[in-house]
Structure 1
Amino acid sequence: MKTAILIPCYNESKTIEKVVTDFKRVMPHADIYVYDNNSTDGTERIARDAGAIVRHEYKQGKGNVVRSMFRQITADCYILVDGDDTYPAEDAPEIERMILSGEADMVIGDRLSSTYFEENDRRFHNTGNRMVRKFINLFFKSDLKDIMTGMRGFNYNFVKSFPIQSKGFEIETEMSVFALINNFQIHEIPVDYRDRIEGSESKLNTFRHGYKVLVMIAALIRDERPLLFFTAISLILLVIAGIYFFPILFKYFSTGYVLKIPTLIVISTVVIIATVIFFTGVILHVLKRQHRDELEHHMILLNELKDE
């Protein structure tokens, strides 16, 4: 059984040596891969000197890095962890055990039930984590405790069937939703979280990346729950149409005259659009179900190829 430790890095020279050496100590049997994402501070050299296998991804963004990792590396267990030394290596063996035993397809390192809110004093980060968690759990009928953690474990089937669309930090949200939608077995385990050391700066911009995550959630709801998404839009349009239509209807009942003919034409157009949008959702819902069937077939083929 092969385990791969995947560490995406961008300018983490102050912490990457410790991250690599900690994982080499705790999991000496694992291959440790550091993917350098255009660092300018010597991260690549430090990681290589520490004993990691160093590769490069030149398209900027964590999503791009993870895509390359998943495409290029073959293993039975993958453990993805940030290179900023905020996640202790000591939690990795339990993640590995759950993946290799078949208990989980994806293991989430849950910071939010552990030390995250004590260690992280960035108020908007904390609020954003809670908000994203509520959105995901509401729309995808789940009870995940940490959506955006940077420490996760995956099995071979998850990694090789995950079509990554994200380019940046939205990748964590996309992973969680993909697992929920496609019925992968998910387990969460509490992991300790420690804030960055002095002099190590986060690459996460609270508002810019927060906006991207919210856009990603909306896109995922549209793509993964099309019937819900387009039905909601149809209902909003019908409510707007009703607000303008019923006063005209009541006036007709009281006077016998149809007033505001142009408004009625616009209302009729809105109702037609709402109907078209609803049936668009129905069609996409059927196509999505067919896609899930194809994914199941793909998973069977993956298992057959792996056995060979």
Structure 2
Amino acid sequence: MDDLAILIPCYNEGITIGKVVKDCLRDTRDIEGRVNIYVYDNNSKDNTVNEAQTAGAIVRHEYQQGKGNVIRRMFRDIDAKCYILIDGDDTYPTDVIPKMYRLTIERNLDMVVGDRLSSSYFEENKRPFHNIGNRIVRGSINWLFKSNIRDIMTGYRAFSYQFVKSYPVVSKGFEIETDMTIFAIENNMAVHNEIIEYKDRPDGSESKLNTYSDGFKVLKRILISYRDYHPLGFFSIVAMILVAIALFLFIPEVWIPYLQTGLVEKIPTLIVSAFLIIGAIVSWYSGLILDSVLQKEKREFEFRLNLISKKQK
């Protein structure tokens, strides 16, 4: 088992990966114990693999495309007391690695978040829609899940062994960061925000994140996660919407004419309203049942976490 494993997912990062690996080696040389740098190539078409190997990294491959798929393979393959996940685009400072490592080990943290948004990100980043998207994602997650994570989409994090081996990777692409954050929040894991300096990609290096398609996937993941982790709240909202629609149809079209004439003239509207109310009741009860299942799952998760901790020792 490594004392520290530095994980770098890569896709066409030949321009920068060599420098990132060398910087990681330089800034971790004073860390005692076994430190390894793993570069996982995700079907790169440039010289990413050669540059990483030449710089001194252990290079492995994941052939299913997508950052989430790469991280799933990393987490399955590698055992370490602490993990550092960093992008290969040379936008993150590697001199913070020792501090993130110490925080994880000494304070028993499960996740250290490299917070770009509280420092230089909005000045350095040249893609305005990414700035807006980061604010929307951060605000929605902190509001929906009652947290205070300062940077949701950062690719720079430290993890404990318990987090890595208990986290079920279900996201395939760039929504993985959102999923990891929500998982940590909802399972009451110890999270720390560490402010870091951010610099934009060098000339010739291109971001693989698509502002619109990947942004939609992230927002979809937030909605699905809220449904999964807060089913009673989610299905209560659905129930209230159905009730509101039913009343909107029933009162002016059925109830008021009935008071005036004593007759129900719009039977189809009455039937639709009744089915909407039934749907609302079913939705609310579904939320109650799923909430009970969720509470049981949380207890079972704590048992699994204890088993993982014993395995590490």
TM-score (norm 1): 0.98
- The equivalent position to 1:303 in structure 2, one of 300, 306, 309, is 309
Q: Is 1:79 the counterpart of 2:84 in the alignment?
A: yes
Match of 1:98 in 2: 103
Match of 1:7 in 2: 8
Classify the secondary structure of the residue corresponding to 2:173: coil
Classify the secondary structure of the residue corresponding to 1:94: helix
Match of 2:196 in 1: 191
Match of 1:162 in 2: 167
- 1:1-308 equivalence runs, <5 A: 2-28=3-29, 29=31, 30-247=35-252, 248-307=254-313
Letter in 2 for 1:267: S
Classify the secondary structure of the residue corresponding to 2:7: strand
Classify the secondary structure of the residue corresponding to 1:2: strand
- Following superposition, the deviation at residue 18 of structure 1 comes to 0.4
- Following superposition, the deviation at residue 104 of structure 1 comes to 1.5
For residues 242-262 of structure 1, the C-alpha deviation after alignment (integer angstroms, 9 at most, x for no partner) is 101112212222322222111
Letter in 1 for 2:312: K
Classify the secondary structure of the residue corresponding to 2:8: strand
In the alignment, the residues of structure 2 paired with residue 296 and residue 89 of structure 1 have an alpha-carbon distance, to the nearest angstrom, of 33
Greater shift, 259-268 or 14-23, is seen at 259-268
Letter in 1 for 2:187: N
In the alignment, the residues of structure 2 paired with residue 273 and residue 185 of structure 1 have an alpha-carbon distance, to the nearest angstrom, of 39
In the alignment, the residues of structure 1 paired with residue 118 and residue 265 of structure 2 have an alpha-carbon distance, to the nearest angstrom, of 60
User: Aligned residues, how many?
Assistant: 307
Q: Give ranges in structure 1 of 5+ residues lacking alignment.
A: none
Classify the secondary structure of the residue corresponding to 2:37: strand
Classify the secondary structure of the residue corresponding to 2:80: coil
In the alignment, the residues of structure 2 paired with residue 203 and residue 27 of structure 1 have an alpha-carbon distance, to the nearest angstrom, of 28
In the alignment, the residues of structure 2 paired with residue 138 and residue 249 of structure 1 have an alpha-carbon distance, to the nearest angstrom, of 38
- Following superposition, the deviation at residue 215 of structure 1 comes to 0.9
Classify the secondary structure of the residue corresponding to 1:76: strand
- Following superposition, the deviation at residue 102 of structure 1 comes to 2.8
In the alignment, the residues of structure 2 paired with residue 219 and residue 201 of structure 1 have an alpha-carbon distance, to the nearest angstrom, of 30
Classify the secondary structure of the residue corresponding to 2:158: strand
Greater shift, 126-135 or 221-230, is seen at 221-230
Letter in 1 for 2:292: V
In the alignment, the residues of structure 1 paired with residue 309 and residue 217 of structure 2 have an alpha-carbon distance, to the nearest angstrom, of 35
For residues 211-234 of structure 1, the C-alpha deviation after alignment (integer angstroms, 9 at most, x for no partner) is 111111111111111111111111
Q: CA RMSD in A?
A: 1.0
Letter in 1 for 2:14: S
In the alignment, the residues of structure 1 paired with residue 297 and residue 53 of structure 2 have an alpha-carbon distance, to the nearest angstrom, of 41
Letter in 2 for 1:19: V
In the alignment, the residues of structure 2 paired with residue 87 and residue 103 of structure 1 have an alpha-carbon distance, to the nearest angstrom, of 23
Classify the secondary structure of the residue corresponding to 2:133: helix
In the alignment, the residues of structure 2 paired with residue 266 and residue 254 of structure 1 have an alpha-carbon distance, to the nearest angstrom, of 21
- Following superposition, the deviation at residue 93 of structure 1 comes to 1.2
TM-score (norm 2): 0.96
Letter in 2 for 1:216: R
In the alignment, the residues of structure 1 paired with residue 132 and residue 88 of structure 2 have an alpha-carbon distance, to the nearest angstrom, of 23
- Following superposition, the deviation at residue 103 of structure 1 comes to 4.2
- Following superposition, the deviation at residue 13 of structure 1 comes to 0.3
In the alignment, the residues of structure 1 paired with residue 160 and residue 269 of structure 2 have an alpha-carbon distance, to the nearest angstrom, of 57
In the alignment, the residues of structure 2 paired with residue 298 and residue 144 of structure 1 have an alpha-carbon distance, to the nearest angstrom, of 25
